[in-house]
Structure 1
Amino acid sequence: MSYVTESFRQLFGSEPRRPDKSEITPEAQAVHIFKKQHPFDVTAFEEARQAHAGDAKKWRNRRWTTLIIVNLLFVVSYYFDVQLLEGALTASRFMGFHMADLNSALQVTLAFKHMVLNLVIGTATVFVLWLLLGGRTFCSWVCPYHLLSEWAEKVHLYFADKGWIKDHSFNRKIRSAFYLIFALLALISGYTVFETISVTGIVSRALIYGPGVAMIWVGLVLLFEIFYSRRAWCRYVCPIGITYGVVGAISPLRVKYVLKDCHHEGDCRKVCLVPHVLDMTVKGKAAHTEVDVSADCTRCGMCVDICPTDSLRFEIKGLGKHL
């Protein structure tokens, strides 16, 4: 099954397809057999973990810095009227050039049944940008709610570790259902219903123009994530991830998994927002010696940061080099 097909399956809620034994390449089979016959040296692994400690937050720090700078550019442009990055994440102008959030553009088009020229230009620009960078990169590197949810997740995990709460998961196909519901509501009602409740848009506008009553909704969503279901909005509701994931399915920027270097300790899946995309890291499941992580990956880099043996790494396809 092709990378794009499998990416689409995962984006719309299907579980990762597990390859039959006949689909596992001889090279991958040889690595699996070698690992089974030669267990990793625990001492050597701990030494590798300690040596990697200095890079344990490298990509997280880069991502947080980028996300904060992008959103601060909106704030600075508005307050000082420098016309650098005007508007908000849903629709903006960068140095006079129009940019439009792809999901917002879709909602507007469905609601009003046509696209104005500026929306066409803005959509095309953003489409090309995330086609190159990987669609769901928007979620972890730009979306301000993602950062709030990431911090809320730390509280959730602390409470869960203390035994005060229990995490509740849902079927991931619910997000596809919401995607269809929001699209149909826009088409039938002529109103962009999702934009009214989109925590991404609400937080973005609150940062720029000041908080309003809508921030109460954001607070309720965060409380739900802290006390009931970890990262529920991003995992089970928000259609933005699907829209960008579809666009980024053929992006050259991906996270690559290298089988021979993996110790299968599972730390990468524990920190991942979308752990199903790392199913190949489970012992014996990789069909190839090198596997690209699907387009449902947000490219947040947390798995890359936590992996002590660099079996997960950013790579630009076609250039043969990792970042």
Structure 2
Amino acid sequence: MSISRWLKVFAACFVVCIGAFAQQQKVIIDTDIGDDIDDAFAVSLVLSSPELKILGVTSAWGDTELRSRMLDRLLCEAGRSDIPVTTGVKTASKTTFSQEAWAKAGETHTHADAVDFLLGQIRKNPGEITLIAIAPLTNIGAAIDRDPVTFKKLKRVVMMGGSIRRGYDEFGVVGTAPRPADAEYNIAMAPEAAQKLIQSGVPIYMMPLDSTQLKFDEVKRGMLTTVSTPLTDSLQVLTAEWQRATHQATPTMFDVMAAAYAIKPELCPATPLHIDVDDEGFTREGPGTANVNVCLNSDSDQFFQFLMPRLLEQKLHGASSCVVK
């Protein structure tokens, strides 16, 4: 092939690559990783999705510094230590930090303030950032208090939270009548912050209990053992730590649906509804102008057909060592 032909091929590839890069969606993840296991899977899905450009990850709720340390290690294992991790508002929490041992084995780093980081990124990228919110909304409430005008310049918030027509499915038995709506954890831990978000004017896409109780059953856990990458190995260890700490076997992929929606919204079609948040953390559907786009139903088979290849075929390569020596 002549040099001129090579140059034309290179130029065409360059244009395609630049076009794909330009189409990446800018995201920030706000997570309480370390308690339930679904946060680790949600972050892993985002890391495995080239459609997303991750501007940073913010830790939320409870021991936020330890959560940041866990995020540092997970990003290191995935070969993405270039992604900033910042520490959010520390709170009291009665929830067990089930993956504490794995988190504490990671190296210690200094972290900036999550609320400052979030607002700063919005100022740099007005109207461009999707905030994937998969934690109690304390960081978000603090950001709104500090600078509501800047916060309103988010492109949208995609969140796991709420319970509209279905509560927690304790046993996961197919065909049984759903429980009535509950005060879902992410909302109930900080209802005031959720109220502020609802009133902020930012477009909200809510993945409530109605559509997120997707079971990572034994077959799927077995699939995860068929490959060995730094990320899949980490997920297996973290799942085992969660199982030991909680005495549960089957994780529920609550938060993963929010991450999946940010990438492929047809997995969880959203309906515009008027939602109010009461002081106990209930998300009440009622009359009035729609203020939230809510996914009330999802297809479990389609969700896992999307998720599993992303986890099993990801091209991430971790660093040689991500633990304290």
Same fold (TM over 0.5): no
Q: Of Structure 1 and Structure 2, which has the larger fraction of its residues in helix? A: 1
Q: TM-score range by the shorter chain?
A: under 0.3
Q: TM-score, normalised by structure 2?
A: 0.24
Q: Of Structure 1 and Structure 2, which has the larger fraction of its residues in strand? A: 2
Q: TM-score, normalised by structure 1?
A: 0.24
- Which of 1 and 2 has higher RCO (CA within 8 Å, sep 6+)? 1
- Considering only CA atoms, is the larger Rg found in Structure 1 or Structure 2? 1
